[in-house]
């Protein structure tokens, strides 16, 4: 089959590789209908996350049609159109039983690589380096999906392939962030980042009853999409964000702030230059301007949700969180806990993730798609690949 | 004791624990199945049952090195299994697995303890050099694989498609 392979820093090529096959009894093989780029892929492509190997097939956000099933698979069958969360979860362990799916105890094939870094291994994930399991990704014609009874969700009529695609990762990650805010009547939620996850966090906060959602970014087309979803938008290159948020909240500050940016955050001024130099020298991996700003902006006793992907960061103002009594919530997506609900919201038109699909490419042209996505050319919000 | 001896002794033993949300008796039965032993130690050695209590182990080292031994299991206690190598082992070793109730409804704690006595005694060759794998990794991975097997009936793997290069191997 054809697949998009990582061959080294910023070296992506579409190659002919071996077809996947059923290995374990709970596996299925999916014929990929659509897959998409994710901001976190850029960390892998740029070499900011170690333990990638030349030849690794990229892609962790996808949907498709089941073409082969293992002998223990009972909940889905050949021909089903399904969406699959990016974390692989068994459904049987203590973590899965408590809806903490990305912390699954049993799906990491190489726990010895991750245990020294995190203390305990997490769930395995498709195409996210060998420290996260080394599973082959979905920018390919076919992908092997373990634990199909837990991880495959049939897409109902009325939900398009493109809408279902983002219910693999961007939508459940964003919605989980909004859920973590424990939104109460009158709450204002500010979201840093209007990429796929940020926009889905904004729509999620609206669905969960936020009084007002404020979206922060610097790209006009992304801010325009946030405005189309009903958010108030702020361009951080044009206004002082802290002052603007105080103005919009009567001096209280947002009740909850969501960082949907992560380690490649832009920024302004000296702090940005300092962060970028240290990152280039591998003295830290993260720039972190958005997170520091969110920490300062959140109201006293408010909630800070971190959805952006981080590795190491210095100059982290921990005392600020303590003195303001901030509750911090963070996780990789526990997608399996949210997907059924999100498919219903999409079916009713309350969640509109297909709006993220701004550019479409054949799998053969996927390196061009990544280039466009990385450099945000032509207003590219997400590049979608069709094998 | 000099520094080298101390390091080697530390290198020769490892213990680890996991909690599995299943009753101790069920886990004990699963552990004792010959096919379970073969599967959970596969990262370290080929284990073949000779009879109910004894098994033959073949561990592979760097440059084609091969180390063989036989172990005998003592399963007389319900809350603990013990095994040790028989006479003539290339690398003598002992192991024990204790089953303890976990608090709340968390199931059973498994405490695995393995000690190697490499040739040459306390100052002999380091275990990690013999096997190309450190004892902590031997023990931890066996427990993680056992947990996956006990909870899901399978052991997670990306072999034969970890990365698609070279027909699907990452070696």
**The two three-digit tokens of residue A69, written as one number:** 């099933």
Same domain, A22 and A128: yes
**Cβ proximity of A104 and A90 under 8 Å:** yes
Mean pLDDT of the B2-17 span: 67
Residues A69 and A203 in one domain: no
Model confidence at B5, in pLDDT bands (50, 70, 90)?
A: very low
The b/e string for A138-157 (b: 16+ C-beta within 10 A; e otherwise) is: bbbbbbbbbbbbbbbbebee
Q: In what order do the strands lie in the sheet with A212-217?
A: A232-235, A212-217, A188-192, A256-259, A303-306, A327-330
Q: Which among A25, A53, A136 has the least Cβ separation from residue B161?
A: A136
Query: Cβ separation of B21 and A124 shorter than 8 Å?
Result: no
Q: State whether residue A139 sits within 8 Å of chain B by CB.
A: no
Instruction: Output the six-digit token pair for A97.
Output: 């039983």
Q: How far is residue A142 CA from its own chain's centroid?
A: 21
Same domain, A76 and A182: no
The tokens describing A236, both together, are 């951080």
Among candidates A106, A124, A136 on the partner chain, residue whose Cβ is nearest the Cβ of B152: A106
Structure tokens at A331: 């996780």
Q: Do A53 and B163 touch (CB under 8 A)?
A: yes
Looking at residue A356, the DSSP 8-state letter turns out to be G
State how far residue B140 is from chain A, nearest Cα, in angstroms: 7
Q: What ipTM is given for this predicted complex?
A: 0.89
- The alpha helices in chain A, defined as continuous H runs, are 39-45, 94-97, 111-118, 148-151, 161-166, 170-180, 196-207, 220-229, 241-248, 269-280, 289-297, 318-324, 339-347, 366-374
Q: DSSP for A216-228?
A: EES-HHHHHHHHH
pLDDT band at A49 (very low <50, low <70, confident <90, very high): confident
Residues A81 and A185 grouped into a single domain: no
Q: Kindly report the CATH number assigned to the domain that includes residue A220.
A: 3.40.50.720
Contact list, A24 vs chain B (CB under 8 Å) = 154-157
Contact between B159 and A23 using a beta-carbon 8 Å cutoff = yes
Nearest-angstrom CA–CA distance, A68 and B126: 47
**Domain match, A344 and A369 both:** yes
| Position with higher pLDDT, B4 vs A212 | A212
What pLDDT, in 10s, does the model give residues A98-111?
999 999 999 999 99
A105 and chain B in contact, CB less than 8 A: yes
For the stretch B71-126, pLDDT in tens is 999 999 999 999 999 999 999 999 999 999 999 989 999 999 999 987 766 545 67
Whether residues A337 and A236 share a domain: the answer is: no
How many domains are there within chain A? 2
> Rg of the Cα trace of chain A?
20
Cβ-defined contact of B159 to A115 (cutoff 8 Å): no
Whether the per-residue pLDDT at B127 is higher than 90: the answer is no
Find the helix or strand (DSSP H, E) in which B56 lies. strand B54-60
CA–CA separation, A334 and A175 (whole Å) = 10
pLDDT of residue A311: 73
- The least confident of A30-39, A47-56, A73-82, A359-368 is A47-56
| pLDDT, position B2 | 46
pLDDT band, very low/low/confident/very high, at B64 (cuts 50, 70, 90): confident
Alpha-carbon gap: A146 to the closest alpha carbon of chain B (Å)? 9
Over range A11-39, report the average pLDDT. 96
Are A141 and A31 spatial neighbours (Cβ–Cβ below 8 Å)?
yes
Report in angstroms the alpha-carbon separations of A185 from A192, A205, A211, A214, A348. 22, 12, 7, 16, 23
Are A27 and A116 contained in the same domain? yes
| Statement: residue A289 has pLDDT above 90 | no
Is the minimum CB–CB distance between B52 and chain A shorter than 8 Å? Answer: no
Residues A213 and A123 in one domain: no
Q: How far is A163 from chain B (nearest CA, A)?
A: 28
- A317 and A369 share a domain? no
Q: Examine the fold and report which residue of A330, A350, A367 is the final residue of a domain before the chain moves on.
A: A330
| A158 and A176 co-located in one domain | no
What is the tens place of the pLDDT at every residue in A272-287? 555 555 555 555 555 6
Point out the domain boundary residue: A304, A330, A356.
Answer: A330
Q: What is the mean pLDDT of residues A55-80?
A: 97
A98 and chain B in contact, CB less than 8 A: no
Helix (H), strand (E) at residue B3:
helix B3-11
Say yes or no: A16 and A68 in one domain: yes
Residues 342-381 of chain A whose Cβ lies under 8 A from any Cβ of chain B: none
pLDDT value at residue A255? 98
Whether A124 sits inside 8 A of B141 (CB atoms) is no
Taking residues A186-207, report their average pLDDT.
97
Segments forming the whole domain that contains residue A214: 170-330
Nearest neighbour of B163 by CB, restricted to A23, A106, A134: A134
How high is the mean pLDDT of chain B?
87
Please report the pLDDT score of residue A277 as a whole number. Answer: 53
B67 in contact with A at a CB cutoff of 8 Å? no
Instruction: Identify all chain A residues contacting B141, using CB atoms and an 8 Å cutoff.
Output: 111-112
**Percent of all residues in chain A with a pLDDT value above 70, rounded to a whole number:** 94
Taking CB atoms and an 8 Å cutoff, what residues of chain B touch A57? 163-164
Residue A359 has pLDDT above 50, yes or no: yes
Which chain A residue has its CA at the smallest distance from B158's CA?
A135
The maximal CA–CA distance of chain A, rounded, in angstroms, is: 60
Which pLDDT belongs to residue A177?
98
Q: Which two tokens stand for residue A9?
A: 């820093």
% chain B with pLDDT above 90: 68
A20, A44, A54, A112, best to mutate vs chain B, most B CBs in 10 Å: A112
What CATH number is associated with residue A75?
3.90.180.10
Q: Which helix (H) or strand (E) holds B20?
A: strand B13-20
Fold of B3-153: Alpha-D-Glucose-1,6-Bisphosphate; Chain A, domain 4 (3.30.530)
Residue of A nearest to B156 (CA): A109
Query: Between the CA of residue A345 and those of A163, A174, A334, A350, B48, what are the distances in Å?
Result: 11, 14, 17, 5, 53
Give the per-residue pLDDT at B171.
42
How is residue A126 annotated by DSSP?
Answer: B
Q: pTM to 2 decimals?
A: 0.92
Model confidence band, residue B3 (pLDDT cutoffs 50, 70, 90): very low
Cα-based distances in Å from A122 to A173, A309, B79? 16, 15, 29
Cβ contact B158–A109 (<8 Å):
yes
| B147 phi/psi in degrees, rounded to 5 | -60, -45
CA A35 to chain centre: 13
Nearest residue to A90 (alpha-carbon basis) of A77, A76, A107, A72:
A107
Query: Is residue A103 located within the same domain as residue A184?
Result: no
Domain stops at, among A315, A330, A345 = A330
The answer to whether the CB atoms of B161 and A20 lie below 8 A apart is yes
């Amino acid at each position: 089959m054809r697949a998009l392979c990582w061959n080294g820093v910023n070296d992506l090529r579409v190659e002919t590789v071996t077809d996947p096959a059923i290995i374990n009894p709970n596996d299925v093989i999916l014929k990929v209908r659509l897959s998409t780029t994710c901001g976190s892929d850029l960390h892998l492509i740029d070499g900011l996350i170690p333990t990638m190997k030349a030849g690794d097939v990229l892609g962790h956000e996808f949907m498709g049609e089941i073409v082969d099933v293992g002998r223990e698979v009972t909940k889905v069958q050949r021909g089903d159109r399904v969406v699959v969360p990016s974390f692989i979860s068994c459904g049987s362990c203590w973590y899965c039983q408590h809806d903490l799916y990305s912390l699954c105890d049993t799906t990491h094939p190489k726990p010895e690589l991750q245990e020294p870094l995190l203390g305990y291994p997490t769930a395995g994930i498709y195409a996210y380096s060998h420290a996260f399991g080394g599973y082959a990704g979905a920018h390919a014609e076919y992908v092997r999906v373990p634990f199909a009874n837990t991880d495959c969700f049939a897409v109902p009529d009325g939900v398009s392939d493109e809408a279902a695609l983002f219910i693999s990762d961007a939508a459940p990650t964003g919605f989980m962030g909004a859920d973590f805010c424990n939104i109460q009547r009158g709450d204002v939620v500010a979201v840093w980042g209007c990429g796929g996850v940020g926009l889905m966090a904004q729509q999620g906060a609206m669905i969960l009853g936020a009084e007002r959602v404020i979206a922060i970014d610097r790209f006009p087309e992304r801010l325009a999409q946030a405005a189309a979803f009903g958010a108030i938008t702020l361009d951080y290159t044009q206004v002082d964000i802290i002052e603007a948020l105080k103005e919009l909240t009567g001096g209280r500050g947002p009740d909850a702030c969501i960082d949907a940016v992560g380690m490649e955050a832009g920024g302004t001024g000296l702090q940005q230059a300092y962060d970028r130099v240290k990152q280039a020298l591998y003295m830290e991996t993260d720039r972190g301007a958005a997170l520091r700003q969110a920490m300062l902006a959140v109201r006293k006793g408010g909630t800070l949700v971190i959805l952006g992907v981080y590795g190491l960061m210095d100059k982290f103002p921990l005392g600020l969180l303590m003195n303001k009594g901030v509750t911090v919530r963070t996780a990789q997506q526990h997608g399996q806990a949210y997907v059924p609900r999100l498919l219903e919201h999409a079916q009713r038109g309350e969640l509109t993730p297909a709006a993220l699909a701004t550019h479409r490419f054949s799998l053969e042209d996927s390196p061009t798609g990544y280039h466009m996505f990385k450099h945000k050319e032509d207003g590219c919000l997400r590049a979608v690949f069709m094998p | 004791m000099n520094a080298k001896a101390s390091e080697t002794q530390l290198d020769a033993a490892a213990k680890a624990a996991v909690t599995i949300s299943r009753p101790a008796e069920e886990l004990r039965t699963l552990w004792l199945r010959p096919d379970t032993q073969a599967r959970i130690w596969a990262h370290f050695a080929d284990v073949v049952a000779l009879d109910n209590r004894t098994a033959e182990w073949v561990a592979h080292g760097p440059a084609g090195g091969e180390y063989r031994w036989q172990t005998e299991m003592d399963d007389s206690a319900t809350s603990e299994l013990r095994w040790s190598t028989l006479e003539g082992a290339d690398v003598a070793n002992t192991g024990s697995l204790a089953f303890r109730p976990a608090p709340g409804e968390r199931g059973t704690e498994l405490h695995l303890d393995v000690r190697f006595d490499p040739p040459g005694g306390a100052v002999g060759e380091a275990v990690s050099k013999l096997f190309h794998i450190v004892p902590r990794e031997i023990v931890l991975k066996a427990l993680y694989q056992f947990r996956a097997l006990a909870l899901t009936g399978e052991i997670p793997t990306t072999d034969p498609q970890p990365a698609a290069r070279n027909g699907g191997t990452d070696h």
